[in-house]
Amino acid sequence: MPEKINNEETEEKKEKIEWVPKTKLGKEVLAGKIKSIDEILEKNLKILEPEIVDFLLPIETEIINIGQAKGKFGGGKRRPWRQTQRKTAEGNIPTFSCMCIVGDKNGHIGLGYGKSKETVPAKQKAIRKAKLSIFKVKRGCGSFDCICNEPHSIPMKTEGKCGSVRIILMPAPKGTGLVADNECKKIFRLAGIKDIYTKSYGQTRTKINMIKACIKALENLAKLK
């Protein structure tokens, strides 16, 4: 068993070594001068290579269901890809959109949105953009019902808005769980938030605006000092 584990570790290291950085930040990360993603975020350095995030964090990915299959009276099942069509003289040209969330379940998260003529390239674009837009989520225990001082929720109330959608995030005591929309739960899980209350207004069925509003609320929380 130990030999298998060592072989897996060496294979992972080889995969990371095969990455050839093109930017100054990437070269410093590969050389070991920068050892954590927090150093990059504190200095407000721009990440231009998604491999930097892969090298420093154990990233997990979730796809947001922003599309909807055809159904009677608009009641189609949710699906990951949103399909649109463009009318041309040659016929209808379809385009697929995808939205992805990446995170390490320890306070780091990013959102990406990609479009392409096929589903797989759209997903790859969304994951790449999500890694480039990663930021740190401020966690804490801000509920008056809880005094554990553990980072299981958020430290204070925050609000985000996108389009007609407005969402309010409120700290919750330990054991409450994620009182939120199913798609927003994916964000909180990857961010490492276990307990939270949410309240939303507007056209929340538009999941793109719903997710963007939720991310903006967490970004506003991160700006507070």
Q: From CA 90, how far away is CA 214, in angstroms rounded?
A: 40
Q: Judge whether 175 lies within some domain.
A: yes
pLDDT at 16: 46
Q: Judge whether 150 lies within some domain.
A: yes
Q: What is the pLDDT of residues 54-98, one digit of tens each?
A: 999 999 999 999 988 776 665 678 889 898 888 988 888 999 999
Average pLDDT, the chain: 87
Q: Judge whether 69 lies within some domain.
A: no
pLDDT at 65: 93
Q: From CA 135, how far away is CA 53, in angstroms rounded?
A: 11
Q: Judge whether 143 lies within some domain.
A: yes
Q: Judge whether 64 lies within some domain.
A: no
Q: What is the pLDDT of residues 96-146, one digit of tens each?
A: 999 999 999 999 999 999 999 999 999 999 999 999 999 999 999 888 888
- The reported pTM is 0.85
Q: Does 5 have pLDDT greater than 50?
A: no
Residues of the domain holding 173:
138-223
pLDDT more than 90, % of the chain: 68
Give the HSE-up count for residue 37: Cα atoms under 13 Å, Cβ half-sphere.
Answer: 26
* Overall domain count for the chain: 1
pLDDT at 74: 58
- Rounded alpha-carbon distances, angstroms, from residue 151 to 32, 46, 92: 29, 27, 50
Dihedral sign, Cα of residue 220, residue 129, residue 58, residue 208:
positive
Q: Judge whether 108 lies within some domain.
A: no
Q: What is the pLDDT of residues 10-22, one digit of tens each?
A: 345 445 458 899 9
Report the CATH number at residue 209: 3.30.230.10
Q: Where are the alpha helices (DSSP H) in the chain?
A: 2-17, 24-31, 37-42, 50-56, 119-132, 182-191, 207-223
Q: Judge whether 35 lies within some domain.
A: no
Q: Does 177 have pLDDT greater than 60?
A: yes
Q: Judge whether 38 lies within some domain.
A: no
